């Protein structure tokens, strides 16, 4: 025994050392990346010319637009437009039409409102500058105060500039000019492209901390996890049959000492239940992290989502992980439900747990919908209005349900807070309770459904050590997959709902429900909203719920197998429902010809 334990000690120590090394390396990666970004931003800020008005005007500074080579394309183009169009009136450093700036024009043109081009008798290509009109500065302390953020500045420029011919700028050009003006104003982050979905996070009255690209760090983490997964698989391949008895830790104790090997076959369970638990954990952690920055008010909700997505270090990762885990959960639990029916596993004493599971499916749909609405951007507006108006169509209790969900006569002030509370507290808490009950019932009902011991072909048993190792392996692989998707496929976001977007009617193009409700949206095209949008989905749910209570069930000896003979009718019903949902979704997605 002595040499073995010594060997084991040594191995444990080596593993510990390795773990510490990895941890230090990760910390370094995480720390170094932002540091480097900060260092370079400091250099940039000293190297960009911060020309102050000098007593004698240096005309050289007007020769060409000021463009630092490391600026974004958007900023460079903005600098050119500003130099060519805006500078004459707003000044080369955004000072406005000051006396000092007019001195630069030469004696003839100094009095803009009297000279040829801008006097009362201006030629056709000129225009009048009224003497009483102050041409505002666009940069400098306490300037641009009428705009809260880059989005508002952009909207103003797009609608009102250039002053003599408003509306000639394209959306793209307005962004370029906005970007350049904000850099004159010294609040524009470096290497940052303004868009409809991040500009509300860029403030005009103070510079937000320079965001850094954290994708290299995330990819490093993904790579390390992938290597760890390969290592775990390699360890499993050279399985040591006479392993020294380990002492079970906390996580081992959450499992029974051994389970029948039949219950742990991947081709039977598809790992869907376990994966769902893992995804729920990720959703819980990332959701809590999002709560630190999310502000549940109509003015701030979408802006705070922009802050999370484009400014907070690893914020985009957090949000993408939350989004993709939610989408994956929807798919995984659907597969889990299909598996349970198609293997007849819900029979007899397991049917209560089947109902609990269906309840959780409904909760997940509600959680997905409320979470989607919390974006409070233009993308969710019609889904919110349709979804809540559907509640109104329910006879007798409709109006009351609507008020309960929305908190007012129409989606407005109170609604974000309502949806926030439904999402992060009521639904989540119910989900945790039902989830714990569901897992407890799995154990109480004797684990995953397999034939009784005397009718099994294989009576081998799997220890909890092997079970936990498999679970961890699946978690690591799923984690790698999620991280990878989260780096390359950002979660959808559109511009915030504001009074301006409502007035402009910005959002009309986006009338699509979240993907898991597209089949309902297609059904709603058929007619009566209550029948197709509320009653039919509820009937489908009831059909699913009464399967174990009405239709024939599998025999015990048939358990643990796909497509057993005993519950064929239930299998056919569930396959038909699944096909109908998929076909309706596809019909919706086929583009229809416009008249």
Partner 1 sequence: MKNISRRDFLKLSTNSLLALSGILGIGGLIRYLSYQFDPTPPSEFDIGSAYDYPIHSRTVVAHIPAIVIHDEDGFHAISLTCSHLGCAVEERNFGFECPCHSSRYDPNGAVLKGPSTANLRKFRVAEAEDGNLHVFTT
Compute the least distance from the CB of residue 257 to partner 1, in Å.
42
Contact of 451 with 556, CB cutoff 8 Å: yes
State the nearest-atom distance from the C-beta of 591 to partner 1, in Å. 12
Least distance in Å: CB of 520 to partner 1?
10
* Tokens encoding 32: 């170094």
The whole-angstrom separation of Cα 180 and Cα 78 is: 5
Task: Quote the tokens at residue 322.
Answer: 């939350």
| Closer residue to partner 1, CB minimum distance, 122 or 512 | 512
What CA–CA distances, in Å, run from 324 to 279, 321, 337, 384?
A: 9, 5, 20, 21
In order of 200, 204, 249, 368, 587, the CA distances from 581 in angstroms are 38, 48, 44, 18, 10
Q: Kindly list the residues in this chain that would bind partner 1 in the complex (CB under 8 A).
A: 382, 385-386, 389-390, 400, 403-404, 407-410, 412-414, 499, 502-505, 508-509, 511, 521, 524-529, 532-533, 592, 594-595
Closest approach, Cβ 51 to partner 1, in A, equals: 43
* Residue (57 or 382) nearer to partner 1, CB: 382
Nearest CA to 72 out of 102, 32, 44 is that of 44
What per-residue string of b and e applies to 9-34 under the rule 16 or more CB within 10 Å gives b?
Answer: eeeeeeeeeeeeeeeeeeeebbeebb
Smallest gap from residue 513 Cβ to partner 1 (A): 8
What's the rounded Cα separation, in Å, for the pair 129 and 135?
9
The least distance separating partner 1 from the CB of residue 377, rounded to whole angstroms, comes to 16
> Taking a C-beta distance cutoff of 8 angstroms, is the pair 225, 474 a contact?
no
Q: Which CA distances in Å does 263 have to 172, 237, 442?
A: 58, 21, 12
Cβ neighbours, 10 Å, residue 534:
18
Cβ burial, residue 396 (10 Å; 0-12/13-18/19+): exposed
By the 8 A CB rule, do 324 and 439 touch? Answer: no
- Write down the number of H helices and E strands in the chain: 23, 2
Give the nearer residue to partner 1 in terms of CB position, either 511 or 546. Answer: 511
Q: Is the CB of 264 or the CB of 524 nearer to partner 1?
A: 524
In the bound state with partner 1, the residue whose beta carbon lies nearer, of 63 and 503, is 503
From the CB of 286, what's the least distance to partner 1, in Å? 28
- The length of the chain is 595
Rounded least distance, CB 381 to partner 1, Å: 9
Handedness of CA 167, 172, 175, 177 (dihedral sign): negative
Query: By C-beta, is 158 or 390 nearer to partner 1?
Result: 390
Kindly list the distances between the CA atom of residue 198 and the CA atoms of 132, 201, 380, 393, in Å, as whole numbers in the listed order: 37, 6, 17, 37
CB of 497 to partner 1, least distance (A): 12
In the complex, least distance from residue 472 CB atom to partner 1, rounded to whole angstroms: 43
Query: 161 near 173, Cβ under 8 Å?
Result: no
């Amino acid at each position: 025994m002595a040499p073995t334990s010594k060997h084991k000690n040594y191995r444990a120590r080596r593993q510990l050392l390795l773990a510490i090394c990895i941890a230090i390396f990760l910390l370094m990666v995480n720390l170094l990346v932002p540091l480097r970004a900060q260092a370079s931003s400091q250099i940039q800020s000293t190297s960009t010319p911060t020309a102050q008005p000098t007593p004698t005007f240096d005309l050289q500074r007007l020769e060409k637009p000021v463009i630092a080579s490391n600026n974004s394309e958007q900023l460079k183009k903005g600098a050119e437009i500003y130099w060519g169009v805006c500078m004459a009136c707003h000044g080369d450093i955004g000072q406005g039409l000051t006396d000092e700036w007019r001195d630069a024009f030469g004696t003839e043109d100094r009095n803009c409102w009297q000279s040829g081009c801008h006097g009362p008798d201006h030629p056709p290509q000129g225009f009048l500058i009224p003497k009483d009109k102050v041409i505002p500065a666009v940069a400098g302390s306490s300037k641009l105060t009428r705009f809260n953020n880059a989005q508002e500045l952009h909207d103003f420029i797009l609608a009102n500039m250039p002053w003599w011919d408003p509306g000639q700028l394209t959306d793209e050009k307005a962004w370029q000019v906005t970007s350049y003006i904000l850099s004159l104003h010294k609040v524009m982050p470096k290497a940052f492209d303004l868009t409809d979905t991040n500009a509300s996070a860029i403030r005009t009255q103070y510079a937000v901390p320079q965001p850094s690209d954290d994708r290299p760090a995330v990819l490093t983490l993904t790579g390390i996890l992938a290597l760890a997964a390969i290592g775990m698989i390699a360890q499993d391949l050279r399985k040591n049959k006479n392993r020294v008895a380990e002492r079970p830790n906390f996580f081992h104790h959450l499992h029974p000492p051994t389970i029948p090997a039949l219950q742990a076959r991947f081709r039977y369970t598809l790992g869907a239940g376990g994966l769902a638990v893992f995804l729920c954990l990720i959703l819980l952690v990332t959701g809590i992290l999002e709560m630190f920055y999310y502000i549940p008010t109509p003015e701030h909700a979408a802006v705070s989502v922009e802050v999370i997505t484009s400014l907070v270090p690893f914020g985009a990762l957090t949000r993408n992980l939350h989004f993709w885990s939610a989408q994956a959960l929807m798919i995984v639990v659907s597969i889990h439900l299909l598996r349970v029916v198609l293997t007849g596993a819900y029979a007899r004493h397991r049917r209560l747990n089947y109902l609990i599971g269906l309840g959780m499916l409904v909760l997940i749909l509600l959680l997905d919908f409320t979470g989607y609405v919390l974006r409070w951007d233009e993308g969710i507006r019609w889904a919110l209005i349709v979804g809540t108006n559907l509640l109104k169509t329910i006879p007798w209790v409709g109006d009351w349900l609507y008020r309960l969900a929305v908190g007012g006569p129409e989606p407005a002030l109170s609604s974000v807070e309502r949806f926030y509370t439904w999402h992060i507290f009521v639904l989540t808490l119910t989900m945790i309770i039902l989830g714990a009950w569901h897992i407890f019932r799995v154990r109480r009902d004797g684990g995953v459904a397999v034939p009784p011991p005397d009718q099994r072909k294989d009576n081998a048993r799997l220890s909890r050590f092997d079970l936990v190792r498999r679970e961890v392996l699946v978690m690591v692989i799923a984690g790698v997959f999620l991280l990878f998707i989260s780096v390359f496929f950002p979660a959808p976001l559109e511009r915030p709902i504001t009074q301006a977007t409502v007035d402009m009617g910005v959002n009309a193009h986006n009338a699509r429900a979240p993907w898991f409700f597209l089949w309902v949206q297609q059904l709603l095209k058929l007619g009566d909203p209550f029948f197709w949008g509320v009653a039919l989905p509820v009937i489908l749910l009831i059909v699913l719920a009464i399967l174990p209570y009405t239709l024939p069930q599998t025999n015990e000896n048939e358990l643990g197998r796909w497509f057993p003979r005993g519950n064929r009718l239930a299998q056919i019903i569930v396959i038909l429902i699944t096909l109908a949902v998929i076909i309706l979704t596809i019909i919706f997605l086929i583009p229809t010809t416009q008249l």
